[in-house]
Amino acid sequence: MTASASALRPLRGLRLDLCARSARDEHLSGEVARAFLGGRGLGAYLALRERLYEVEPLAAENLLIFAPGPLTGTGAPASGRYSVTSRSPLTGTVFDGNSGGNWGNAFRRIGWDYLVVSGALRDPGYVSVDADGVEWHDAAGVWGLDVPASLARLRELHPRCEAAVIGPAGERGVLFASIVNNRGRSIGRGGLGAVMGAKKLKAVVVAGHGARRPAVADPQRLEFIVYEAEKLLKANPITSQALPEFGTSVLVNVLNQAGAFPTRNFRESQFEQAGQISGEMLKRDHVQKRAACRGCVIGCARRTTAGGQSGEGPEYESIWALGGDCGVGDLTAIVQASYACNRAGMDTITMGSTIACAMELTEEGLLPGGPRFGDAAAVVALAEATAVGEGLGVELGQGSARFAAAHGRPELSMSVKRMEMPAYDPRGMKAQGLAFATSNRGGCHLRANMLNPEILGVPKMVDRFATLGKSGLLINMQNLNAVLDSLSVCKFTSFAMKEDYYARLLSAVWGETIEPQELLLLGERIWNAERLFNLAAGFTRADDTLPARLLHEPVPSGPSAGHVVDLPPMLDEYYISRGWDGEGRPSPAKVERLGLGELAAEIEAAS
């Protein structure tokens, strides 16, 4: 298969067949764990091995792969996370989402390393998992409930449980529906909640109460490294001050001042009302208290109130998508629209970007009676309409790429591989454009966010308007983020911690020495495995692109005025640096060096 022989224990998995309502134990070798870690990496391996590139995303044959990582539940900083992998109904790519909360910790504490869900139930139901296996439950009384009510009801039925649920959006097939677990933590993008809804699976409940942490080879060494790592997090100004004080919403003013805050469907890169929707204003008018994932010393989340409602968030991306991208400067309305998305279980980025697309279509005369930029009430109403499938919300629930195409203007969808880009205008930070174009799950800042070097100067400042010379920095970031998603560890820790700390943490857990460069090689393997999946699914170089607006329409004013993204030479440089050919295919030598030859051969045989 892939890596050298390993003494690591096999991974213990549970496989559910919803059609047969059956469950069985299975195992993956320590060699697989050594090669793909867990979390996102394990999901990519299983998605390739089970040839999900051949199945329709909403078909019963598609899988949902729930997988914590080897650090989940060990006490490592900000490691209470897990991933869900599938083929996305929004993009058609291999797709994983990564979430905090306590579901991953609880799942590992009852002795499981991963869960594979196949098939579909005949009638809505849910499953509860404990150390001994699974129990099947009818979803009557839970199906149809929104996310907070679903989680509350399941806690009544299974006291102290941890549950991953879908809301009404997932039940009715909104293509950007999310999976949400306790504390409102989401597998938010790409529509994996719609996959779960197509399977008529309301929830996966961890019902047992595992009393011990997962096995650690060297507990004393781990404890010391955790102590050192937490000192770094408490000393770093981003993880000890900016994020705890304002959360991610601190970025509103930062990006707006840089001229990289996309406004009115990316027509502009500065919003004149940014100060009214900033993190500072959120803190002043709406924040009640800080919140955090289990065991996190950063605490970037916020409990808020608005218009008589309360909830968590919004984060920076939500404020942008439901605010600046729609030309809306009413923070109360933005918070309420974010609450509506959270209750229904919907991705706020795609929701806001799709509304912004509708607003531009209205201005173009192609959507009579549609919403207009700046209409705060319309943003709230359309989020609620999408959640319940009423009126224009039915169309909006398909995402902006399908929506814009249906109205004859596909170029007005600000998406990559059919997934809407987040809150960074690549014309003001050129390497971010390359990051969006090459992201293997579509328009995404979590695969690699060039905010750090291009705007914040972490670890060093680079010329944000330079076209070439950044592919190595981007690739290193993409590989490292693949590792973090697979370990599973919050990416915010990387503001203060470098790869040597992650390698030391993993070495203590496994009892095998892992060098930092070896860890990055694991990330490269995962990235290339995902690339092989997408190629097998029919994606080509033509899909590694950006909306025409960013390539051909210069920013009209502000610090980024006159700039577009000159993507082709950046893409050529990136492919060469990756060891791919001119069409973006990993070379045979690269495939063999990464130990992916067996999986690549299966793809070739299948084609």
Q: What is the pLDDT of residues 546-590, one digit of tens each?
A: 999 999 999 999 999 999 999 999 999 999 999 999 999 999 999
- Say whether 380 sits in a helix, a strand or coil: helix
The answer to whether the bond into 244 is cis (omega within 30° of 0) is no
Q: What residue ranges define each of the domains in the chain, with the CATH number in brackets?
A: 11-206 (3.60.9.10), 251-420 (1.10.569.10), 430-606 (1.10.599.10)
The answer to whether the bond into 453 is cis (omega within 30° of 0) is no
DSSP H helical segments within 79-218, as ranges?
A: 103-109, 147-157, 168-171, 192-198
Is it the case that residue 1 has pLDDT exceeding 60?
A: no
| Pairing status of strand 301-306 against strand 287-291 | antiparallel
Which pLDDT score, from 0 to 100, does residue 60 have?
A: 98
pLDDT digits (tens, 9 = 90+) for 237-292: 999 988 988 889 999 999 999 999 999 999 999 999 999 999 999 999 998 888 87
Task: Tell me the C-alpha to C-alpha distance, in Å, between residue 563 and each of 123, 484, 552.
Answer: 53, 33, 9
- Tell me the pLDDT of the chain averaged across its residues: 95
Residues 90 and 502: beta-carbon distance below 8 Å: no
Backbone φ, ψ for residue 162 (5° rounding): -115, 130
Which pLDDT score, from 0 to 100, does residue 2 have?
A: 45
Which pLDDT score, from 0 to 100, does residue 571 have?
A: 98
Helix, strand, coil share of the chain (percent; to 5): 45, 15, 40
pLDDT digits (tens, 9 = 90+) for 475-498: 999 999 999 999 999 999 999 999
Q: Of the candidates 190, 22, 205, 184, which has an alpha carbon nearest to the alpha carbon of residue 90?
A: 190
Which pLDDT score, from 0 to 100, does residue 5 have?
A: 52
- The CA distance from 135 to 148, in Å, is 23
pLDDT band, residue 184 (cuts 50/70/90)? confident
pLDDT digits (tens, 9 = 90+) for 54-80: 999 999 999 999 999 999 999 999 998
Residues 415 and 422: beta-carbon distance below 8 Å: no
pLDDT digits (tens, 9 = 90+) for 211-247: 677 889 999 999 999 999 999 999 999 999 889 888 8
Query: How large is the average pLDDT for residues 296-307?
Result: 87
Strand runs (DSSP E) across 333-483, as ranges? 415-416, 419-420
Residues 430 and 262: beta-carbon distance below 8 Å: no
Residues 107 and 66: beta-carbon distance below 8 Å: yes
Which pLDDT score, from 0 to 100, does residue 210 have?
A: 63
